[in-house]
Chains A and B, each alone.
Chain A
């Protein structure tokens, strides 16, 4: 029991440190400034996240220069980043890319790439999705890899690659004769284009491979299970970020409901508003609990099937909660909530976009259904 409480104390401490940092580093004005750029992050803030706070290498094992922390700590950090809409390639470079390298089991590649990722000097990302298909639908991956001496050549196009434009290292999956495989690509060798996006606070890019030289990471044909695990961990992290964002929406709404007066009373005295807030509280608290629980299972190295199920439960719940919270925040603010100047739309953009990235709610619900044995009989 004391182990639990020590851990909770540590998490509280971590939360405080990250919150204090981001309040300074990621005010609304910065979020809006960076949203206008193609790279979508501030190199100085990124450096401090890596050097001063040691957060960029959070889940990278110590032997590769990271902090060796688990999903539980990652969830604490992501929740804080979600609260302030931090513009930074954190999900890509601190979660997806390092997780992909680690899951590949390729020690040489880990030793070569992870230290630079962990210290923030190289920004990495993972490119999976193609066409208009869900990222979790790996059957929809058509990009091919052809052997060419001791390297491969890639052909294909990856869509909605998070931070694909800013990345200095691109990990991607492509098909060889042996199946889905993981590759590392030098982004200088590809054609890439930043995509105008619903959520300008998380950068997306289209990446085009045409005879692009690539290095095989891990065993050929072994990427399918590994990528699914990486995307599951990503789902846990993103769920925490969503819960954090939703929590912030609720705070904004409650603050406004207490101060805005109409008919001679604060609007929060009207039940139509009050009940929306109460509703959001229970959704937000449940979302936080679901995200934390999923992260706890990942940290505790529970059975892989349990972890996947918990990731999907958390993602499905947190996606719906965040979108609802952001939409209600606009409603509770009335006309001002509909303006460009107010941050409410930034949260709605982040919420909706996050719900669609890394597996739609439908995909996650189907996974839950399958895991409890509800599959079509035919």
Chain B
């Protein structure tokens, strides 16, 4: 990768150039097609993000102290647009950006120093250890526990559905360190090395037949007390930092992606003749309308944020809107593909490599992972509309 010029720029006056000029140069120097092979593609994306960090062009929204660019929201949007236009590879570990804001906000100086840079560079991957067999939507009922022994926590129990666990170097986990109580009492936020003795990762096949998540077993796993984030027993509140963070810019990359995917679907519809079917044509028009409404929604929320106003309900509903859109999009896509949508990805004649059929299966997770659609509706109804709690005791 021809990154030498950019790295040199780091020590020359060009360093002071406007970030967008530097980013344009960087993207020019790193232009190229992603390798076809999966392993090579991962290595390629990692190298890209390591170089990006080296050039001080990573993490546009993070404060400079944390190794970010400290850009304001308007510039962050421009940054994401520039990256998308150049088809820059996405960071290979999206989960890292769930733990990062938590560390920036609640981590000790040592923790920030130790974890943030390798995370940005994609040198180290993270996984999220929240869900358990008995604790899904009702996360505060989790039972994987840790006992304090000397200067370490000793962890026993099991996590489930842990995405990327088989590739991750670290897990940010919610672990019980005290008795359960209201408001998620007794839960602590721990950073656990996946290389620790006593950890067993058992990959699970998901709906697509691929392996994206795992079961993770803990058998007397020792975690240094220095790996506690925040107060012992204060983990539940801390975990919510990352939820709040999703609000503004995170939607942008989704939006650019949906725009692209919908346009690709149009292209397929034009060449396959699917648009001749008036029902399919109207479905496609509805999808087009939806992707535009999605954009209007974000623009409205972003305008508000940019002007320092409360983005209001629009921001809270965005995630649910997207999740359901993703599913509708893929339902329509299979009608566009036609009868050959029954073919699997390994069948060489499957239209467009079977991507739509695969996407259709994958899209079922968008209303489950990261909080089910039902839980999101509960939250919207109670937090935004002020309806009474569904819990009997309330």
Which residues of A are at the interface with B, using a C-beta cutoff of 8 A?
1, 4-5, 8, 254, 257-258, 265-266, 268-271, 273-275, 277-279, 281-282, 285-290, 292-293, 310, 312-313, 316-317, 362, 365-369, 372-378
Contact = CB atoms under 8 A, between A and B. Distances in A.
Contact of B289 (A271, A313, A378): A313
A289 B313 contact: no
Contacts of A367: 285
Nearest to A368: B285
Contacts of A377: 273, 275-276
Contacts, number: 149
The interface residues of chain B, by DSSP majority, are classed as helix
Interface string B357-394: 00000000000000000101110111011111110001
Given A8-B307, A265-B388, 20 more contacts: A4-B306, A268-B387, A268-B388, A269-B390, A271-B390, A274-B390, A275-B377, A278-B320, A278-B381, A278-B385, A290-B289, A317-B290, A317-B293, A368-B288, A369-B275, A369-B284, A373-B270, A374-B284, A376-B276, A377-B276
Contacts of A368: 285, 288-289
Interface in B235-262: none
B307 A4 contact: yes
Contact of B386 (A254, A310, A312, A373): A254
B380 A289 contact: no
Contacts of A375: 275
The interface residues of chain A, by DSSP majority, are classed as helix
B194 interface: no
B317 A285 contact: yes
A1 B314 contact: no
Interface of B: 74, 266, 269-270, 273, 275-276, 278, 281-282, 284-286, 288-290, 292-297, 299-300, 303, 306-307, 309, 312-314, 317, 320-321, 374, 376-378, 380-382, 384-390, 394
Contact of B282 (A254, A274, A362): A362
Contacts of A378: 276
A4 B305 CA distance: 12
Contacts of B321: 282, 286
A5 B387 contact: no
Given A316-B286, A369-B282, A281 B313 contact: yes
Q: What 6 A-B pairs have minimum CB-CB distances, sorted nearest first?
A: A282-B317, A278-B377, A268-B387, A293-B296, A365-B285, A289-B296
Contact of A1 (B284, B297, B300, B306): B306
Nearest to A373: B270
Contacts of B296: 286, 289-290, 292-293
Contact of A366 (B285, B307, B377): B285
B314 A285 contact: yes
Contacts of A310: 292
